[in-house]
């Protein structure tokens, strides 16, 4: 991480979610990005994936969409993502992408991308219980589900603003 402290950086709040059906391995990912009063939702589909890959993809897509170095306050209902970034990934990288039990780390390609993106920003990530009282987590969950509909074309994604969301929600 670069040395400029988080106090000087713009703050962007991010909520991410990923979803996959085990039966057909179609998945979706979504991220809600909020800076001051502006909100943007990005989401997309994944083919032949798992829930864990969809969760990691949501974080990657969110961080990749932020052009300038920022203080990113990320919230996820994935303990895999949160614990991975807060506790595990640095050890995995030091051990050559092998877990403490000697097994290879799953999803190395995505964890490596997250490590690079984490260095670009000052990142704080925390866990929230899914499907509970966090309105932006619920929004991310909804759009991750919508992303599954895009999974027939891998990596297709859509970007929406709050105006787009409100117009679609209240369309008569």
- 28 in catalytic set: no
Catalytic residue among 45, 121, 141, 146: 141
Active site residue 131: yes
Residue of 28, 44, 45, 77 with catalytic role: 77
The β-bridge relationship of strands 122-127 and 157-161 is unpaired
Q: Find the catalytic residue in 17, 27, 44, 45.
A: 17
The token pair at 34 is 């909020």
4 counts as catalytic: no
Active-site pick, 27, 28, 45, 55? 55
Let me know if 159 is a catalytic residue.
Answer: no
77 is catalytic: yes
Residues 113, 116, 117, 122, Cα dihedral to 10°:
150
* Choice among 18, 28, 44, 45 that is catalytic: 18
Nearest CA among 84, 86, 107, 103 for reference residue 95 = 103
Residue 117, both tokens: 């993106």
Tell me the C-alpha distance between 27 and 51, whole Å: 7
Catalytic residue among 24, 48, 91, 131: 131
Is 55 noted as a catalytic residue in this protein? yes
The residues assigned a catalytic role are: 17-18, 55, 77, 131, 141
């Amino acid at each position: 991480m670069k040395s400029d402290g988080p106090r000087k950086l713009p703050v962007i709040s991010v909520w991410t979610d990923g979803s996959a059906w085990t039966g057909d391995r179609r998945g979706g990912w979504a991220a809600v990005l909020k800076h001051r009063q502006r909100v943007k939702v990005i989401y997309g589909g994944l083919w032949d994936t798992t829930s864990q890959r969809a969760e990691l993809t949501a974080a990657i897509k969110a961080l990749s969409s932020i052009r300038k170095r920022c203080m990113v306050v990320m919230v996820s209902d994935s303990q895999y993502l949160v614990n991975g970034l807060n506790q595990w990934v640095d050890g995995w990288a030091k051990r050559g992408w092998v877990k403490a039990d000697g097994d290879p780390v799953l999803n190395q390609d995505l964890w490596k991308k997250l490590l690079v993106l984490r260095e670009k920003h000052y990142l704080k990530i925390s866990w929230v219980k899914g499907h509970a009282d966090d309105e932006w987590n619920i929004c991310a969950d909804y759009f991750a589900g919508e992303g599954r509909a895009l999974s027939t074309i891998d990596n297709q994604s859509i970007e929406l603003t709050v105006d787009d969301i409100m117009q679609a929600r209240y369309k008569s």
